[in-house]
Every structure is written in C-alpha cells, then in structure tokens.
Amino acid sequence: MKKITLLVCLLAVSLWGFASHVIPVETAMKASKNFLAERVGVSDAKGMDLTLVYTEYTAAGDPVFYRFQIGDKGFMIVSATDQATPVLAYSLESNFKAGTGADLYCTQYKNELTYLIEHPSVTSSARTLWDHYTSENFTVSQAKGNPCVQPLVTTEWNQDTYYNAQCPYNPLSDLDIDMRSYVGCVALSMSNILYYYRYPEHGYGAIYYIPKEYDDETGELIYTYPPQSVNFGNTHYNYNHMTDRLNAYNGEQAKLLYNCGVATRMGYGHDGSGTQSEYAMEALQSFFHYSPNAQFSSIVDVAPSSDLTYLWINQAINELNARRPLFFSGRNETDGGHAWIVDGYTTITQDTVTDTYFHVNWGWGGYDNGFYLLTNQNTHSGNFNVSETNTMMIKLMPDSAEIEKPAISDTRITASVGSISDGAGNMKYAQNSNRRWVISSPNATAYRFTFSKLKVKAGDKVNIYNGGTEASGIKQSYSGDCLMAACSDYSGVSGGVHGDFTGDALPNALTVTADSVLITFTSTANSETDYGFVLNYEATSYVSSSTACSSNTQMITTQTGTITDKPGNAINNDNPYRPSQSCSWQIRPSGATGYVFSFSKFDLKAGDFVDVYDYSSTTSPVLYRHFDINNTASLETDYYFLTASKLYVRFGSDNDQEGTGFELNYHTSQTGIEHFDNMEVSVYPNPANTFVNVSVTADEAQTIYATIVDMAGKTVATDQFNYNGGEQVFQIQTNNLSEGIYFLNLKSQNGQRTQKLIIQ
C-alpha cells in the first residue's frame, strides 16, 4: 500500500512538473508587454494593444508558441514554454503574413520548442528571463541592446506585380501578376544586395538557357519557356531610377530583378520561381564582379555542437559590424526553400542570459520583417538539435578595388520615381564632398521626398532646393544620425523608437512644387564622416496637357470602338502619356464571339506595353499578344483576329521616357464560326483601288453577304451575291472609299470570315 501511494505521489509530481513548463497565454502576454516596455519605454508600451491571433500546438495538443498582433502594425512570437526564451521574434515595423518565408523560422521554433516540452530541463537559463518579464514587481531594464547594428537595407521589395514586369510570361499565371512568372526569392535577395551597394553600373559576360516548369508533386513537365538570355556586358543599371518600394511599373528595377533571375538560371514558375542559392554566389562573382572571397557558412558546419553555436553567431555579427548585409537561405520539408536578407541585430542581456535578435528582411513586400532569434533554442537547456534552416554568405561585397564614394559628381535624373544616395551602404562618404543631383521628370510640377536613411555628421548637409538651381534657394537642409526606418515605432504611438538603438527619427516627407529640383550633398574637411543617406522621391503632379487614363478598369460594351491611353479614349492627341500608369479595359459587347483589331497609332517607349487578353473566361484569361517597343504593331499591314466573347486590354508605363501613346481599334463578330465549311474563298487585289474581287468555290448554292467597315466601326459598304456552284468571282465596288484600312466581313450559311482590306 505504501509502494502504491509513493508511486502515485511520484507520478503526480512528474505530471505537475511537466505541466509547469507550459506558459498560459495570459502570462505570455504579460511577458510580451514588459519586453516591449524595454524596447520602446513604459509609457509607449502601455498604449500598445496586444491581441492573440494564433497559437501553434504540438501533435499532443500542447501550445508551442503564441503570436500577438501589436496595435495596427507589429507582431510578437512568444514561447509557450519556460524552457525557451520568452520572445522568439518581434516587429514594430510590419504585420505578420502566414505563407511567407517566415514560416521557415516558425517551423523551426515549433520543432525546437516541441523537443523542449517533451524533454524539460531543470537547468534551463530561459527561466531567468521568464522570472524577469513576469515578475509582479517588474522593473524595466535601462540597458539598451549592446552591441547592435541598425538594419542596413532600406527596401521592401516583392516578387509579384511591377517587380516581375520583365520576367517571362506563363499561361498558367494569374492576371493580377500580369500573367508573368514570379521573380524568385534568390533573385530578389541578390537584387537587394546590388541595390544596397549600388553596384555594378554594368554587368560582365552573358548567359542563355531555357527554363522549364515541372509539377511539384509529380515532376511532370508542365511548361517550357522561350529561351532566356542576358548580355550583361551590354546592360547598364541605373540605381537612381529605382526606389525602396514599388506601387507602379519601374523599368530599371524590373530589369535588375529579371537579370538576377536569369543569372542564376531561375526555374520560373506560375506559382513560384526557384533556383539554388549556390548559383547566386556564382552569378554575383561572375556576372557582377563581387568578391571572390565570398563563401557560404552553414550553422551545421560551423557549430556541430551546442557549445560552438556562438562561433556561427559571431560570424554573422562580424559581417554586420562591417555593414555587409547577409544573403541567407534555408529549407525544410514542410515549407520548402527560401532566400532572404539578414541586415542588422541587437543583443539583449538580462542577468546572465544573452540573446541576439537578428533583423530579417524576407523580401515579401515588407511583411514579417522584424527581429528573430536564429540560434537553436535547445542550447538554453543544454540539449542540441542541429537546425539546417540557416545558411549565409559571408564576405559578400563588391570587389573592393572597384567601389568608391566619389567626392564630386553632377547627375541629372529624368525618372518620375527614384532614389538618390551618396553610394554603397558599407562605406563612409568622402571628406570635402560636393555632389549634385537635378531631378527633372518631363511635365512634372511637384515632387515628394522621403528619407529612408540619414547618417550625416553635423556640418555636412543634404540640401533640397526650391527648384532646379541654387538660385531657387534651399527649401530644407538635413543632417544628423537618424534611426533606420525599421527601427522606428510603427505601432501607432507617436515619437516612439526602439530602446535598443540610439538616434533621431527620420525627417518627415517634404514636397517641393517645381518642374525640377536640385539636391546637393556637401561635407567638410573634418576627419570624421558617416555612412550617408538614401532619399526616395516621386513626381506627384503634372502639367495639364500631360493626361492620364483612368486607373479603374473601364467597361466597354459597343460593337466597335477605339481605346487609347488618353482620358475618355480620346483620339488624335499627341501629348505624351503619364509615367507610372496602369490602365485597363474590358471589352464585352453583347453577343460578340470574335474580334478584329489593329492600331492606328503606336508610340511607346522602353518599359511601356499594351497587353491584349482573351477574357472569355474571367477566371482563366489567356494572353493573346504583348506589344512593346520590341514587339511593335505595324500601322499599315498588321491586324489581329481572335475568337473570344470578351477582351481585356492593359496598358502600363514605367517611370522614365514617355511616348505619345496608342490607339487600338476593334470590330466584333456576331458568330462563333470564323471560317467557311466546304467552301474556298479568296479576296484580291489587296491593297485595292476601285474594286475588290471575291472568288468562291463551294459544294452548294447559297447567298453570300458582304460588309465593309471602317476603323471607327462604321459600315461604309454592303453587298450580297447569289452563288450557284462551281468557281464564281464577285466584284465589290470600292471607288467611293477613301484611302485607308477597312475590314471586309463575308458571311453565309456555311460560316464567316473577316479580314483587313487596304484601299489605296
């Protein structure tokens, strides 16, 4: 009886001990709020509402971690066991979006914490942190994160629309990404690195390959792309025309992203594009002249045991201390593979426990960006289970002999959207700098300027003028050591900054009303300089003659008509169209089953396009034809016919160089038969002058109806012929028609045919 009682008591103690390691959600929320208080201050933290939005569970049903939303913007991922550091990840700059690259770390957290829950340790140092953050007498630690490096990268780029504007088309892709393939995370991370260093100005060498898309589950080939090639040696990159975040087409940015994809032999796909990270290093070194000393460093190789993890962490810290952003990659069986950027860190010490949070830029349009623990949580309890999620490139930078920040420069920029920088992010600017940029986008009348980086010593200045010359006077001068944008408090509390970093808030946006704006950067002869600035700009208004088509999809139901890049589809307007436009039209006349269309005007510049889709199925549109500067339409001879009940037309212009636009004329057919059964028909001469012949050979007698329609859709001639058999030739008089392009429609009981007719 005593043995049974003792066994029951031991079992109860064991179960209680196991259960005691589970952190209730209320306790986790308390720890989260106190953690935030040390990041942003007690008063600001009190104004931040935390809402539980997700709980991860083990297979046994135990909570693993909680995810909280912070106000309108921000999130925290918090452990549900006292065996691990309370806060696994946090952000005050963005919201969390499931299904992105951050799932890799969430899966890693789940696996590691599940192991700790199932193998608890009485010596876990994480309990010290839990005791601190859940204490009834909690006192905010005044120590800032030390050491630390503010996030280096300023971009919030993505893989879809605008960014993929030069990636290859794929018939399986969606219309909302322009029926193109995704950029691919490897290409995106590479491009982030190139933009950060603003290097190189041009590439080296060339590449050619044929991408193929395979089914992820069956391995079956589902699409073969046209050959993709880039002559890097003849390709120049204008970083001044690129910007931190896109909301319109940008030719230079799309070119950089596409070129990085081709350089890595990207496996383009309609639902995701991928390639090997090893190809990225090869491409950076071969095509973009990055350091031959760059190499991969995996946590598995550097830290084969838990007591050596610090070696790998120190590698990452040393790279970031040298202001070199890290290209990270990893994969697991659950979430697949991804590549991303790690560009900053903060080290938080409480009593004897130190945790280093690394800032991650996932390349998902800003979603999920924040500070994450990268080290294996099992080290807190003395257990170790190697994670293969983290592999990074170290010593990744341009060849040092080929990169500099010039002391003197004079640059003119014509793009409507772009960015100005003193140069590579890892270098300090030169003493006695005297640099000038004039922004002069055609037809612009005002510009908006926003800093995403400002680290300029007192006495050195960034000056924004009231116009394009010094004579216009200085609108505003800037200097100071400002926090990077990712360090600002975006949770809705004004004036808050991360307590782990020291610096001022970035300046507010500035608008200058002028057709051009001068920006200068000057530095003194002082021995101490700083890391410079990144200033984004966009044109915000234009002269009245520079008109824009509607950004809303226009619905057109007429049987014939003309669509143009001008408001109201106006014709004969040779004013240039606006930059950074995206306009679309749905052509859906009642009863239409086919269309003939042609262009009476086509003047687009590089980076601008017109796409025409078969929109018969709104859920599965089909790209019929892509028109741009390299795929032009001849106004004299080209006409296009497709069988469809509806058309969808999209016009896009990028941020540089505008033409006078396009005029697309369409004409509908009312029957789905676009050929003749058991009948041969030929039309000649074409071009015609005073008449046109219609030759008919058929199996049976029938009446043939002829209609001639002009480019405006007006019927200008009609006729009918009684065919009695054999070969017969009928003549249609055209001597009363003006010179130009028409459509001849022939229809009988056996079918229909529409073709272009030129009258000279």
Whether the upstream peptide bond of residue 685 has omega within 30° of 0, thus cis, is yes
Angstrom distance (rounded) from CA 215 to CA 449: 45
State yes or no: pLDDT of 38 exceeds 80.
Answer: yes
Per-residue pLDDT tens for 592-634? 888 888 899 999 999 999 999 999 998 889 999 999 999 988 7
| Sheet architecture: strand order including 609-614 | 554-556, 582-587, 647-652, 609-614, 622-628
Indicate if the pLDDT at residue 381 is higher than 90.
no
Which of 652, 655, 665, 656 is closest to 178 using CA atoms?
652
Domain extent listing, the chain: 404-542, 554-669, 679-759
Q: What 3-state DSSP class applies to 634?
A: coil
Give the integer Cα–Cα distance in Å for 390 and 619: 39
CB of 327 closer than 8 Å to CB of 321:
no
682: exposed, middle or buried (Cβ count in 10 Å: 0-12, 13-18, 19+): exposed
Contact assessment for residue 629 and residue 570, using Cβ atoms and an 8 Å cutoff: no
Mean pLDDT comparison of 12-16, 471-475, 727-731, highest-scoring range: 471-475
Classify domain 554-669 at the CATH class level: mainly beta
Mean residue pLDDT across the chain: 89
- Would you say 446 and 541 are in contact if contact means Cβ atoms under 8 Å apart? yes
Q: Specify the CATH class of 404-542 in words.
A: mainly beta
Does residue 715 carry a pLDDT above 90?
no
Is residue 384 pLDDT above 60, yes or no? no
Distance between the two ends of the chain, CA-based, in angstroms? 115
How far, CA to CA in Å, does 549 sit from each of 423, 441, 544, 587, 609? 36, 19, 13, 16, 14
Using the CB atoms, write b or e for 390-428: b if 16+ within 10 Å. bbbbbbbbbeeeebebeeeeeeebbbbbbbbbbbbbbbb
State the average pLDDT over residues 222-250. 97
| pLDDT value at residue 3 | 42
**Segment 734-753, tens digit of pLDDT:** 999 988 878 888 888 887 77
- Report the range of poorest mean pLDDT among 3-17, 526-540, 715-729, 730-744: 3-17
Phi, psi of 55, deg, nearest 5: -130, 130
d(CA 406, CA 409): 7
For helices 126-133 and 25-40, the axis angle rounded to 10 degrees is: 80
pLDDT the model gives residue 416: 97
- pLDDT computed for residue 228 by the predictor: 98
With vertex at residue 603, the alpha carbon angle to CA 601 and CA 609, rounded to the nearest 5 degrees, is: 105
191 Cβ contact partners less than 8 Å away, ≥ 6 residues apart? 157, 256, 257, 260
pLDDT score for 673: 42
Neighbouring residues of 634: CB distance < 8 A, sequence distance ≥ 6: none
Which tokens sit at 381?
């309890």
- Give pLDDT, residue 205: 97
Q: What's the mean pLDDT in 119-132?
A: 83
CA distance 46 to 480: 29
| Ramachandran class of 23: left when φ > 0, alpha when ψ lies in -120 to 50, beta otherwise | beta
For residue 83, is pLDDT > 60? yes
Is residue 156 scored above 80 in pLDDT? yes
Positive or negative CA dihedral for 256, 257, 263, 269? negative
Alpha helices, H only, 119-167 = 126-133
Which fold is adopted by the domain 679-759?
Answer: Immunoglobulin-like (2.60.40)
pLDDT computed for residue 703 by the predictor: 93
CA atoms within 13 A on the CB side of 579: 26
Decide whether 404-542 matches 679-759 in CATH topology: no
Q: What is the pLDDT of residue 711?
A: 67
Q: Compute the distance between CA of residue 113 and CA of residue 88 in angstroms, rounded to an integer.
A: 11
* 674 three-class SS: coil
Q: Residue 253, Cα to own-chain centre: how many angstroms?
A: 10
DSSP 269-284: -SS--B--HHHHHHHH
Q: What percent of the chain has pLDDT over 70?
A: 91
| H-helix or E-strand spanning residue 106 | helix 103-118
